[in-house]
Amino acid sequence: MQHVAHAVVQLAYDPGITPNEGGLPGLSVLKKVMGSVNLFGIIAVVGALAVSAGIWAWGHQSGGHQAEANGKKGVLVSAGAALLLGAANGIVAFFSTLGSQVH
């Protein structure tokens, strides 16, 4: 019984699972879909940035302080979204590597 308990405890510490690139069929299709979703997000952010900048400028010129503030927020949110979308692969790779070092 103690041997089984030791095996279960050892399994809890190291299940021996690592990412396997060829494990599932359709992985290349999934990669292409995620790349397309990322590109769609970047294109949407470009549009959001342009609209937000326009609202910011319009609010500034017309004296609409609320519109100006919302335009500024939109520009900052768009810039942050662009940063995260562009860095998505690096962020996931960083934390995946960091997670694999936990023992």
Per-residue pLDDT of the chain (103 residues; tens, 9 = 90+): 667 766 665 555 666 677 777 777 888 898 899 999 999 999 999 999 999 999 999 999 999 999 999 999 999 999 999 999 999 999 999 998 898 887 7
- Burial-class residue 64 by CB neighbours within 10 Å (0-12, 13-18, 19+): middle
**pLDDT for 47:** 97
The C-alpha atoms of residue 10 and residue 4 are separated, in whole angstroms, by 10
**pLDDT for 13:** 65
The answer to whether 74 and 48 are in contact (CB under 8 A) is yes
The C-alpha atoms of residue 76 and residue 90 are separated, in whole angstroms, by 21
pTM, rounded to two decimals: 0.72
Using alpha carbons, select from 96, 80, 91 the residue that is nearest to residue 41: 80
The C-alpha atoms of residue 3 and residue 73 are separated, in whole angstroms, by 60
Using alpha carbons, select from 82, 70, 75 the residue that is nearest to residue 44: 82
